[in-house]
Amino acid sequence: MRRHVHSGDEPEDEVAARYRNRGGGSLLFRPVGISMLVAVTKLFEDQGLGLDSILKKLATVPLDLNEQPWAGLLWDPANQRMIVPQENQRAALRLLFHGLGGDLARLSSNRDTLKEELSGILGRAPAEITLPNFGRIR
């Protein structure tokens, strides 16, 4: 069986390069982003929400890693690389879930705990942390 190896000049490589690049690119083109979106989808499905409703709300989430809320949490703009510690990934998942209207108690957390967690990761006072409000799922 012959295996096709991408040379880097394939059309799909050009697409990936547009969304995964030195400027961060899209959350959708990073493994942590896909994992987070799948986990949040599952959390909302477990609450009985339909996939169509969940996907409409997920479409409101900012995907540019170089912008808030991902810059400094999942993306290091200065060094142009992903920030991969588990604590960052857990905080990002909670942030996403909460931003879509999820009950943080389902993740053994609350708003104040999330702000404290983000405060430590981002090196800012909890009072300076604003939790985003994406397209809230009801």
Taking every pair of C-alpha atoms in the chain, what is the biggest distance, in angstroms? 60
Task: For residue 117, count other CB atoms closer than 10 A to its CB.
Answer: 19
* pLDDT value, residue 65: 96
- Classify residue 19: in a domain, yes or no: no
- Counting the structural domains of the chain, the total is 1
- Per-residue pLDDT, averaged over 49-76, amounts to 95
One-letter amino acid at 105 equals: A
Q: Is the pLDDT of residue 10 over 70?
A: no
* pLDDT value, residue 2: 47
Pick the closest to residue 40 from 97, 2, 81 (CA basis): 97
- Classify residue 137: in a domain, yes or no: no
Q: Is the pLDDT of residue 20 over 80?
A: no
* pLDDT value, residue 108: 96
pTM for the model: 0.84
Tokens of 57: 């709300």
Give the tens place of pLDDT for each residue, 28-55.
999 999 999 999 999 999 999 999 999 9
- Classify residue 64: in a domain, yes or no: yes
